[in-house]
Amino acid sequence: MINKELLKTESEKLGLTLDEMALERFDKYAELLVYWNERINLTAITEPDDIILKHFIDSLAFLKYCCPEKGASLIDVGTGAGFPGLALKIARPDLNITLMDSTQKKLGVIEEILKEIGLTANVVHARAEEAGHNKAFREQYDFSTARAVSNLRDLSEYCLPFVKVGGKFISLKGADAKNELEEATVAIKTLGGNVEKIDIFELSGCGERAIIQIQKVSETLDKYPRPKGKMIKQPL
């Protein structure tokens, strides 16, 4: 059982009002996360208050700085145990969410959690650099997002191809965000992006966080994303 009051007050600080249904869903999510984590390695964060702050609130901070229109489509690349994508779905059930990961067993847990909390999302087992060439995913989304998957330069190559021109890639980052952004400048331009803004904030006693918003201003060239080996050998 999580401290719903803490979740409620912390989300209010982000300007969000979670209704009783959302609080119940987060409670169940936390319970299942701890249960499955004993069977499959999902997260090092298992204390209830830490789950609230470092997973739920950290994910929901997205909505303080960026407010997708009703029914907008969003893909979470490398969602793992559902962060930020599944947390966003609970707070905003109207969003059309795709949760992508290269590890099938994590997605099995996600499907189980979705069923238990009574929500639906598109759960996709794929590597971002391959799915980015698939017409079903390429330039199909209003938003792409990711947390703790890769450095911003490589992450831009994973995430920008999924976004429609006019949409945004929202990157959730930690204290090193400004340096990552500097290193990713060429990649972002090359992939059709333009940095719109970076918001840096303190996550309730858990350290500095940043939300980087990158607008998709032109189509991504067909050759991107490249296979991972090439991304490592020839970084943009």
Which residues are near ligand SAM by CB under 6 A?
Answer: 77-81, 83, 100-103, 106, 127-129, 147-149, 158
| Angle (nearest 5°) at CA 55 between 51 and 56 | 90
Three-state DSSP at 74 gives strand
Q: Which is nearer to ligand SAM, 10 or 154 (CB)?
A: 154
User: Residue 20 Cβ, how far from ligand SAM at the closest point, in Å?
Assistant: 26
Q: Which is nearer to ligand SAM, 5 or 136 (CB)?
A: 136
User: Residue 146 Cβ, how far from ligand SAM at the closest point, in Å?
Assistant: 6
User: Residue 40 Cβ, how far from ligand SAM at the closest point, in Å?
Assistant: 11
Q: Which is nearer to ligand SAM, 42 or 214 (CB)?
A: 42
Q: Which is nearer to ligand SAM, 64 or 217 (CB)?
A: 64
Euclidean distance between CA atoms 64 and 143, whole angstroms: 15
User: Residue 207 Cβ, how far from ligand SAM at the closest point, in Å?
Assistant: 15
Using Cβ positions, the residue closest to ligand SAM within the complex turns out to be 80
The one-character DSSP state at 162 is: G
User: Residue 134 Cβ, how far from ligand SAM at the closest point, in Å?
Assistant: 13
Query: Which residues does residue 201 pair with via DSSP β-bridges, in sequence order?
Result: 209
Q: Which is nearer to ligand SAM, 21 or 40 (CB)?
A: 40
**203 phi and psi, to 5 degrees?**
-90, 90
Euclidean distance between CA atoms 66 and 87, whole angstroms: 15
Q: Which residue has the tokens 């191809």?
A: 161
Three-state DSSP at 140 gives coil
Q: Which residue has the tokens 């792409």?
A: 144
Tokens linked to 45: 């964060």
